[in-house]
Homo-oligomer: A and B are copies of this chain.
Amino acid sequence: MSTTEQKLQELKTRLLEIGDLNHINALLGWDQSTYMPAGGAEARGRQSALMAQMAQEKFIDKEIGNLLDDLQSYEESLPYDSDDASLIRVTRREYERALKIPPEFIGELNEHAAAAYQAWAEARPANDFAKVRPGLEKTLDLSRKLAEYFPGYEHIADPLIDFADVGMKASSVRTLFASLRDQLVPIVRAITSQPAADNSVLHKHYPEADQLAFGAEVVKQLGYDFNRGRIDKTHHPFMTKFSLGDVRITTRVKEDDFGDCLFSNMHEAGHAMYEQGIDMSYEGMPLGGGTSAGVHESQSRLWENIVGRSHGFWEYMYPSLQAKFPEQLNGVSLSAFYAAINKVEKSLIRTDADEVTYNLHVMLRFDFEVQLLEGSLSIRDLPEAWHERFEHDFGIVPPNDSDGVLQDVHWYAGVIGGSFQGYTLGNILSAQFYNSALKAHPEITNEIAQGKFSTLHGWLRENIYRHGSKFTAPEIVERASGSALTIEPYIDYLKTKYGALYTL
């Protein structure tokens, strides 16, 4: 073995151990959200902090830096997109970032997040913002401290945004969101001034066990691999990964709201198929995960909405659904069901929102993150600010905090900043990627209507999934779609789809 091969092997051995520590930490989090009894919370927070701190300590070991230096000439001898060059390049980028964050801080952040999550899990059903407020104030302090480890920013939110969506910052997201808002608001106004679609069919009684069975069958057909995954119930659905061979999703069920479980499943399965599609040789390496929040969300939204709420999909799937729920759906036409699952309305909950109003929920949260970080809004004033802004944007006042500021887990299980812009970037990119897939394979539209998803899945795997984090988000967008991020395909998609359902 040459010295270079030895050094590369040594780097990979170290990175795999770090990857395993992070994956173990993910399991601690999954268990806490799914099955852990309340009595386990204190130790779990400590254990999670330990895993995070050990991973961080091992990653910032100066020997990693030495290996990266020693491997630089090898990297430069290789094509940019070779696996080895990419591993060295991406590892160096993350290493240089990690060096700026003290390991004790990571430990503190993780321990705090576990405690804050537990408080939120109790506070949300109790509509008790006071219970989470001290924790949230500490979260904000820690979030600012984290950003301050990366001086030289234009806005204090920028480092946190860049962690999730490399290349973006507060000002660029604001500009993008403003142009999207200009297009969206007239569409929302046009639709909500018309009679609302009737979605009462979704609010009949759908027994939990049947919803879970149907939801699992659907994602299996889309291509989610249960040999390398499973579905459990949590307060807030999510995708998590313990290795490329174990990529799990979670869901929730409301017996009087048919859409919640099924569309959560398709959403999380979209995230999971991305991870399951990554080249197995990237296992445990910095290349072995999705490349950005926005690109990740593009896949959840593509499968949930562009596929899962399309007319073609339900041409195929609706007979099975009627067979599963005959009492609820016999006599309900496909077009009535299709209108119901695509009902546009001003509503309280982001994750339940339709495709058209969804981005307004995201923009509200993004703006609050920016304001909290810069200090123009305090945690104390947040519930009231939420109510005011919500009334301004949606014309309705949230009746409580449970369905307001307490609805999303993000701020209660991580940092404030960079958590939300990816959702709208994902919506935008979902249409851009789907357009590119259609250009390559125009037959995809018909295939979906026949229950065949493998051509689409194959194109996504080939052009996006398998690369993991080899390319940055701007690179993968350019490679897969032939252009930079653009809102046109998304606006076209919304106008075409909703123009057929409403008068725009």
Binding site for B on A (CB under 8 A): 16-17, 20-21, 23-24, 27-28, 31, 35-44, 46-47, 50-51, 54, 225-230, 232, 242-246, 248, 283-284
Q: Which residues of B contact A20 (CB under 8 A)?
A: 43, 46-47, 50
> Is the CB–CB distance between B35 and A232 below 8 Å?
yes
> Is the CB–CB distance between B44 and A246 below 8 Å?
yes
> In the complex, how many angstroms separate the beta carbon of A281 from the nearest chain B beta carbon?
13
Q: Which residues of B contact A16 (CB under 8 A)?
A: 46
> In the complex, how many angstroms separate the beta carbon of A227 from the nearest chain B beta carbon?
5
Bound Cα distance from A205 to B64, whole angstroms = 61
> Is the CB–CB distance between A51 and B24 below 8 Å?
yes
Bound Cα distance from A20 to B54, whole angstroms = 12
A selection of 22 A-B contacts at a CB cut-off of 8 Å is A17-B50, A24-B24, A24-B50, A27-B27, A27-B31, A31-B31, A36-B246, A37-B226, A37-B228, A37-B245, A37-B246, A39-B228, A39-B229, A40-B228, A42-B243, A43-B242, A43-B245, A43-B246, A43-B283, A43-B284, A44-B243, A47-B243
> In the complex, how many angstroms separate the beta carbon of A342 from the nearest chain B beta carbon?
33
Bound Cα distance from A37 to B21, whole angstroms = 19
Bound Cα distance from A17 to B107, whole angstroms = 13
Given A20-B47, A27-B28, A283-B43, CB of A37 within 8 Å of CB of B243: no
> Chain B residue with minimal CB distance to A24?
B47
Q: Which residues of B contact A284 (CB under 8 A)?
A: 43
**Which residue of B37, B226, B243, B245 is within 8 Å of A229 (Cβ)?**
B37
> Chain B residue with minimal CB distance to A47?
B20
Bound Cα distance from A46 to B242, whole angstroms = 12
Q: How many copies are assembled?
A: 2
**Which residue of B23, B44, B226 is within 8 Å of A47 (Cβ)?**
B23
Q: Which residues of B contact A245 (CB under 8 A)?
A: 37, 39-43
**Which residue of B23, B39, B228 is within 8 Å of A246 (Cβ)?**
B39
Bound Cα distance from A230 to B31, whole angstroms = 12
Label chain A's interface by main secondary structure: helix
Bound Cα distance from A50 to B228, whole angstroms = 21
> In the complex, how many angstroms separate the beta carbon of A306 from the nearest chain B beta carbon?
27
Bound Cα distance from A136 to B44, whole angstroms = 34
> Chain B residue with minimal CB distance to A40?
B246
**With A16-B46, A17-B50, A54-B54 already in contact, 14 other A-B pairs whose C-beta atoms are closer than 8 Å:** A24-B47, A24-B50, A27-B27, A27-B31, A37-B229, A37-B245, A42-B245, A43-B242, A43-B243, A43-B244, A43-B283, A44-B246, A47-B242, A47-B243
> In the complex, how many angstroms separate the beta carbon of A272 from the nearest chain B beta carbon?
12
> Is the CB–CB distance between A242 and B50 below 8 Å?
no
> In the complex, how many angstroms separate the beta carbon of A289 from the nearest chain B beta carbon?
14
> Is the CB–CB distance between A242 and B17 below 8 Å?
no
Bound Cα distance from A41 to B240, whole angstroms = 16
Q: Which residues of B contact A50 (CB under 8 A)?
A: 17, 20-21, 24
Q: Which residues of B contact A54 (CB under 8 A)?
A: 54
Bound Cα distance from A35 to B229, whole angstroms = 10
Q: Which residues of B contact A227 (CB under 8 A)?
A: 37-39
> Is the CB–CB distance between A37 and B230 below 8 Å?
yes
Bound Cα distance from A46 to B13, whole angstroms = 12
**Which residue of B28, B37, B39 is within 8 Å of A24 (Cβ)?**
B28
> In the complex, how many angstroms separate the beta carbon of A114 from the nearest chain B beta carbon?
12
Most B Cβ at <10 Å: residue of A36, A229, A232: A36
> Chain B residue with minimal CB distance to A246?
B40
> In the complex, how many angstroms separate the beta carbon of A43 from the nearest chain B beta carbon?
3
Bound Cα distance from A28 to B43, whole angstroms = 15
Bound Cα distance from A236 to B242, whole angstroms = 24
Q: Which residues of B contact A232 (CB under 8 A)?
A: 35
